[in-house]
Amino acid sequence: MLDSAVRARLRDIVGESWFKDDMESLVSYSYDATPMQQSLPDGVVFPVTTKQVSDILKLANEHRIPIVGRGAGSNLCAGTVPVEGGLVMVMNRMNKLLEIDTDNLTATFQPGLNTKTFHLEVEKRGLFYPPDPSSMVISTLGGNIMECAGGLRGLKYGTTKDYVIGLEAVLPNGDIIRTGGKLYKDVAGYDLTKLLVGSEGTLAIITEATVKLIPAPKYKKTMVAMYKDIYAAARSVSAIVGNRIIPATLEFLDNSTIRVVEGFNKIGLPVDMEAILLIEQDGQDESVVEKDIVEIVRICKEQGAVEVKMAADAAEAEKLMLARRSALSTCARIRPTTILEDATVPRSKIADMVIAINEIARKYNVQICTFGHAGDGNLHPTCTTDARDAEEIHRVEQAFEEIFEAAIRLGGTITGEHGVGVVKAPYLEWKVGPEGIEIMKAIKRAFDPNNIMNPGKIFAKQSRKRVVIDHGGR
């Protein structure tokens, strides 16, 4: 509960109607897209200028009030759940696209700008901003930056951190800093821009960002390859890249996913296949795109694909991509609760990882469908369960713990694009080690000595003990 002087001060800063602490507001800002995570804030504030953000942070710092920055609340790590109460700072009133600079190929915007809206504006000018998280119809660019969002095009085009080149950010003491600029080269001191990207709201609130843009590819070709042997699919992925071809998207569906999608949608997927690869290539030159696809088809067949199909036109491409696009929604429909993880491994370890996931799912008797971005090793083991069944949820937790362990063992990471937030915090040490945690905590203290910025995220009160599981020498 905020004391009345603080509430009055907040109302002074943002205006009467933009600070709210009625039950309706507290409940509706108590969650994000993460299953089973909810906690009420003490108030919700909607700033509209950098100055207001600065004044709010100063006040919060003085009174030691937790500040949780929030865009659309579409993240999957409980990054915007106010686990220690305090103020949720909703940034969606600061949603202006400030500039698209076609001379420097950059765009500058406020953090509350909707990702999809931004994409459309950029594309109108024949330009391209590749990061495309599945939530882009609702997510904000500020949220994408704070979580370092990825998407389907990570392999060829990189993720959010590869595009952000300048930021305006407000520190917990109210200071306003500007990092980077419309600069493709800039080595003036520590790279604070990159440090803030993916910092999950634990260091500062960003109030403006500059990203680089690239020319939009003009042509796109889609194809699909099916495999009875999961290793053949994995070998194809490595062989494509090994042949110096980088596809725009290279998506993967495992047998559980194929069965579930086909069982529910009846779209004619072969349920006896162990894996399906969906591949898209894009580019400026139609003949180059065509050549790449022909070559990919050859490689897939050579590596043991049972069947390869090329889309003749956009409508057919749509149809081929339907299986991948239906994956999440089908999982969401078959059981009430859907837990979508993002364990990521080196590309060469994809088959091992999928097989490990299947073994773990069997061991704990839980349903896990695995699909994802094979090109960059970012898999989405997705568990369908029911939050109301405590016993099953316990098994799900055990299974995921073992999946994280397997990912680390294979040289991977606990999270490729969703962020640590609350849900991965107990496992962070597995990836970065106790020394890694210490230096991260020191950085956190330098920015936020009073620990008001999104407390309870990234750093767990207690790390999980890592039990290394013997998988029979593989």
Partner 1 sequence: MAAANGVSDPGAKELRPLAQTMKLQLDYDELTNCMRCGFCQAACPTFVETGLEAASPRGRIALMKAVVDGVMEPDAKFREQMNLCLGCRACEPVCPADVKYGHLLEQTRDSLERHDEHPWYIKAVRHVAFKRVFPNQNRMKRVGKLLRTYQKSGLPKLARRLGVMKLLPRNMREMEAILPEASDRGVVERLGTRVPAKGEKIATVGMFRGCLMDIMFTETNVNTVRLLSEAGFEVVIPETQNCCGALHAHAGELADAKELARRNIRAFKEAGVDYIVSNAGGCGALLIEYDHLLRDDPDYAEDAEWFASRVKDVSLMLLEKGRPPEFAARRGESADGAPLTVTYQDSCHLRNVMRQSNAPRSLIGRVGDVRFVELTGADRCCGSAGIYNIVQPNMANDVLEHKMEHVKETNAHYLITSNPGCLLQMKLGIEREKLGGRMEAVHIVDFLYDRISSRGHD
Q: Is residue 393 part of the contact set for partner 1 (CB under 8 A)?
A: yes
Count of H-run helices and E-run strands, the chain = 14, 18
**102 lines the binding site for partner 1 (CB under 8 A):** no
Q: Which residues contact 458 (CB under 8 A, 6 or more apart)?
A: 200, 202, 420, 421, 425, 428, 440, 444
Do 362 and 337 touch, CB atoms closer than 8 A?
Answer: no
Integer Rg of the chain from CA: 23
Q: Of 24 and 470, which CB lies nearer to partner 1 in the complex structure?
A: 24
Q: How many Å apart are CA 448 and CA 30, to the nearest integer? A: 23
Q: What angle do CA 209, 127, 74 make, to 5 degrees?
A: 50
Interface with partner 1, residue 28, by CB under 8 A: yes
Residue type, 423: V
* 31 vs 430, beta carbon nearer partner 1: 31
- Between residues 30 and 281, which has the closer beta carbon with respect to partner 1? 30
From residue 81, give the alpha-carbon distance in Å to each of 78, 254, 309, 457.
5, 32, 44, 9
Residue whose CB is less far from partner 1, 37 or 106: 37
6, 14, 25, 420: which one contacts partner 1 (CB under 8 A)? 25
By C-beta, is 65 or 83 nearer to partner 1? 83
Phi first, then psi: give them for residue 441, nearest 5 degrees.
-65, -35
Residue 73 engages partner 1 in binding (rule: CB under 8 A): yes
Selected from 336, 433, 436, 449, the binder of partner 1 by CB under 8 A is 336
Q: If you count them, how many residues does the chain have?
A: 474
Q: Which stretch binds partner 1 (CB under 8 A): 144-152, 334-342, 426-434, 443-451?
A: 334-342
Phi and psi dihedrals of 444, rounded to 5?
-55, -45
Size of the residue set binding partner 1 (CB under 8 A)? 46
CB of 293 to partner 1, least distance (A): 30
* Helices 428-447 and 390-409, axial angle in degrees (round to 10): 90
Among 397, 431, 432, 466, which residue sits at the site for partner 1 (rule: CB under 8 A)? 397
Q: Is residue 30 a contact residue for partner 1 (CB under 8 A)?
A: yes
Q: With respect to partner 1, which residue has the nearer C-beta, 35 or 381? A: 35
Q: Which of 366, 423, 425, 428 forms a contact with partner 1 (CB under 8 A)?
A: 423
User: Do the strands 67-70 and 176-180 form a parallel or antiparallel pair, or are they unpaired?
Assistant: unpaired
Among the listed residues 338, 382, 413, 415, the single contact to partner 1 using CB under 8 A: 338
CB of 187 to partner 1, least distance (A): 39
Nearest partner of 106 among 182, 161, 199, judged by Cα:
182
Choice from 2, 6, 13, 29 touching partner 1 (CB under 8 A): 29
Interacting residues toward partner 1 by CB under 8 A = 22-25, 27-40, 72-74, 82-85, 90, 92-93, 114, 116, 135, 137-138, 328-329, 332-333, 336-338, 386-388, 393, 397, 423
